[in-house]
Amino acid sequence: MKQQLIGLFLTLAVAAQGALADADLAYPPPLKPAVQEARAAHLAAELLSRYHYKAVPLDDALSSKVFDQYLRVLDPEKVYFLQSDIDRLAVERTRLDDAILSEDLRAPFDIFNVYERRAVERMAYARSLLHKGFDFASDETLMLDRKGQAWPATEADAQDLWRRRVKNDWLRLKLAGQDDAAIAKVLDKRYDSASKRLGKITGADAFEAFMNAYTMAIEPHTNYLGPRAAANFDISMRLSLAGIGAVLTDIDGYATIRELVAGGPASLSGQLQVGDRIVGVAQGATRPMDDVVGWRLDDTVNLIRGAVGSTVRLDVLPADKGPDAPSKTVVLVRNTIKIQDSAAKAKVYSVATGEGKRLIGVITLPSFYEDVDALRKGDKDYRSAGSDVARLLADLKAQKVDGILMDLRDNGGGSLREAIGLTGLFVGKVPVVQTRNARGTVTVERNVNTGLAWDGPMGVLINRASASASEIFAAAIQDYGRGLIIGEPSFGKGTVQTVASLDQVANNANPVYGELKMTIAQFFRVNGGTTQLRGVTPDIGYLQSGNDTLFGESSFDNALPWTHVKAADYAPVGDITAQLPRLLAWHESRVQRERDYQSLLDDLAKAREQRKNNAISLNEAVRRKERAALEARLTAMLGSEGAAAGDALADDGLQFNERKLSKDLAMEKTRSSVKDVRLNEAVSILSDSVALQEGKSQMAASALSTRPVVVTDLSTAPSKP
């Protein structure tokens, strides 16, 4: 959530600023708090002060932390505010607690309004630079990470900072082959669009930013969700929504169709296609059409969604027509849309070994999702990660795979219940995890719902973004000796959250107060340790990004400390430690011969060096040399295939909504087809493990598992039509 909040404001103001005379600028009207927001803040404070795992009183000390966190949320790179702004706003440092408890939120809104005015000024300054030109022969650099830096002391300091940012934007486009006139046009439009987006920020946005500064000042994984954010969170957990089945993107102020969901009303109608622009939305058969050109995309999406069986009318400009062409009306009946892209999927890899082949089934699980509403209603077929994985395991067993690899990379977690049940598919009905609440009571959480579905060789692939429920699963597999843990150390989140509806607390029938996702417990491994801060350490680690201080639980200065409890009563079901020396030796032997692996290793080293230097050159000759070296590496590694991939994936200096949609989709397709080096090696490692379990303890180099090839692609079918 921290990254989502920071991203909100970074996307609202993209790449450059300064200050012009106030008379030259169109500042948005100051935002003001609503009555329901002030009430929601007070309700949240009561819950947090009493029921949070790390309950702390809302006083001056916490207010000071909220103040600092609020500034980090609004301006994480310290490129908007001046030091004089911070000095002037410091009077509010110990008053934010009073603002919440007195239900008078003028102070946090005043801070937000200062941020917004500064952002407008920075965008205006960015545009003013575009006709002046830049000297790309100088040896200037741009600092990549300013989080630890001081605020700009003067307006001149801020302008110099933004001049470098604009210069970098210009240089990226120049290196991509654009001429000066085209570059100026692209950047002027970019900064102007950013200014317009600033004008679309609402009081609800400001309130949500402040509330999350408050919650994250207590502990990193406690968040406030406004009514719309709460609805989107529910959608992400149940993987379904009521709508038309169209993925939209904002291009030049138009809600543009990026993708049609197969089987959805939009696709089945035959009247819509990718690239069509929605310019109007109306409810039912007779209500008037709302002109949505220039609207925030989330507002348009909210208007298009509705109850299953209800009618929505769309005014549409066809993809191949200009903005002055006649539009057409498309009438659709909303239906339930299954979000298949975020569901569990499986592929079967064939691994050549020199003595035949092995089949490894890979199940990719993006999150531990669960349709809680359906579960509460007693629906036995409710959608969940565990039930989908169980179906995939049955399919993979039917294909006679030799091993199963669970790919939990970038899986940030989800339902604790699903983590426990899914673990049971591999270890049976045993203790899976322990939880300790705020009173210190430790509870052993057993799997009682799912039986053993796979008893063959298995492994788990994790990375730094594998968190929470993913860590519960990986830790249990490791503690029981059930399978190999492969990849990078995980995130290090060892806390449990619950979602509390503030409207229910207030006995309010209408959803206006939002929800609180609040930490209520800490979880521990069955061996008594915790993943908090330290994460899960893989049995075989490789290709580590080395960004632990920037990403992960240890990057938060107010994260809970590592601790431990008494081990649960559990008995390991296997022991893979004897395999590790040979698996590691075979792994090292194999990757020494893999050009793509070695190239990625080199890229990671270069990225670590760049992070260490914390700067990028603004000298054109230096940047061209770096770009040429990258292209040469790709070509050397993959020949013509590498050159083609390099052309498609090279930095074009554009943001996603600045490209033609067709080109953006083509780039997305190319990225998805790029070889997954980490996954391929994990499959090969698991294949070697299968060989050891088959009693083949000595293998010649020619018999080692080699690069896997996909032979079958599976996905889960929806639980219901």
Give the single-character DSSP code of 653. S
Give the HSE-up count for residue 415: Cα atoms under 13 Å, Cβ half-sphere. 23
> Which distant-in-sequence residues (6+ apart) come within 8 Å of 137 by Cβ?
619, 620, 621
Question: φ, ψ for residue 610 (rounded to 5)?
Answer: -65, -40
Q: Which of 84, 165, 97, 167 is nearest to 133 (CA)?
A: 167
Contacts 24+ apart (CB under 8 A), 587-590: 587/540, 587/542, 587/681, 587/684, 587/685, 587/688, 589/701, 589/704, 590/681, 590/684, 590/704, 590/705, 590/706
Q: State the catalytic residue, choosing from 174, 347, 493, 517.
A: 493
Alpha carbon 590 to its chain centroid, in Å, reads 32
C-beta separation of 677 from 638 below 8 A: no
Neighbours of 546 (CB within 10 A): 14
Q: Which of 119, 124, 150 is nearest to 24 (CA)?
A: 124
The first and second tokens of residue 465, run together, are 């973004």
Q: Answer yes or no: 493 catalytic.
A: yes
Q: Answer yes or no: 65 catalytic.
A: no
Helix, strand, or coil (residue 75): coil
Q: State the catalytic residue, choosing from 468, 490, 617, 687.
A: 468
Task: Compute, in degrees rounded to 10, the torsion defined by CA atoms 144, 146, 148, 150.
Answer: 150
> Which distant-in-sequence residues (6+ apart) come within 8 Å of 74 by Cβ?
9, 80, 81, 111, 112, 115, 209
Q: Answer yes or no: 468 catalytic.
A: yes
User: Distance (Å, rounded) from C-alpha 485 to C-alpha 513?
Assistant: 42
User: Distance (Å, rounded) from C-alpha 405 to C-alpha 413?
Assistant: 18
User: Distance (Å, rounded) from C-alpha 665 to C-alpha 671?
Assistant: 10
Give the HSE-up count for residue 394: Cα atoms under 13 Å, Cβ half-sphere. 8
Give the HSE-up count for residue 660: Cα atoms under 13 Å, Cβ half-sphere. 5
119 burial via Cβ count (<10 Å: 0-12, 13-18, 19+) = buried
The first and second tokens of residue 174, run together, are 């120049």
Q: Which helix (H) or strand (E) holds 712?
A: strand 709-715
Neighbours of 710 (CB within 10 A): 11
Q: In the chain, count of helices (H) and strands (E)?
A: 23, 22
Given the structure tokens 């609805």, which residue do they identify? 231
Question: φ, ψ for residue 377 (rounded to 5)?
Answer: -85, 0
Neighbours of 245 (CB within 10 A): 23
Q: Can you name the residues that pair with 517 across neighbouring β-strands?
A: 223, 499
> Which distant-in-sequence residues (6+ apart) come within 8 Å of 712 by Cβ?
347, 348, 399
> Which distant-in-sequence residues (6+ apart) come within 8 Å of 110 by Cβ?
89, 92
What does R_g of the chain's alpha carbons equal in angstroms? Answer: 27
DSSP characters over 328-366: EEEEEE-EEEE-GGGS-EEEEEEEE-SSSEEEEEEEE-S
Mind spelling out the 3-state secondary structure of 89-112?
A: HHHHCCCHHHHHHCCCCHHHHHHH
User: Distance (Å, rounded) from C-alpha 324 to C-alpha 318?
Assistant: 11
Q: State the catalytic residue, choosing from 85, 407, 479, 688.
A: 479
> Which distant-in-sequence residues (6+ apart) come within 8 Å of 601 by Cβ?
543
Residues with a known catalytic role = 468, 479, 493
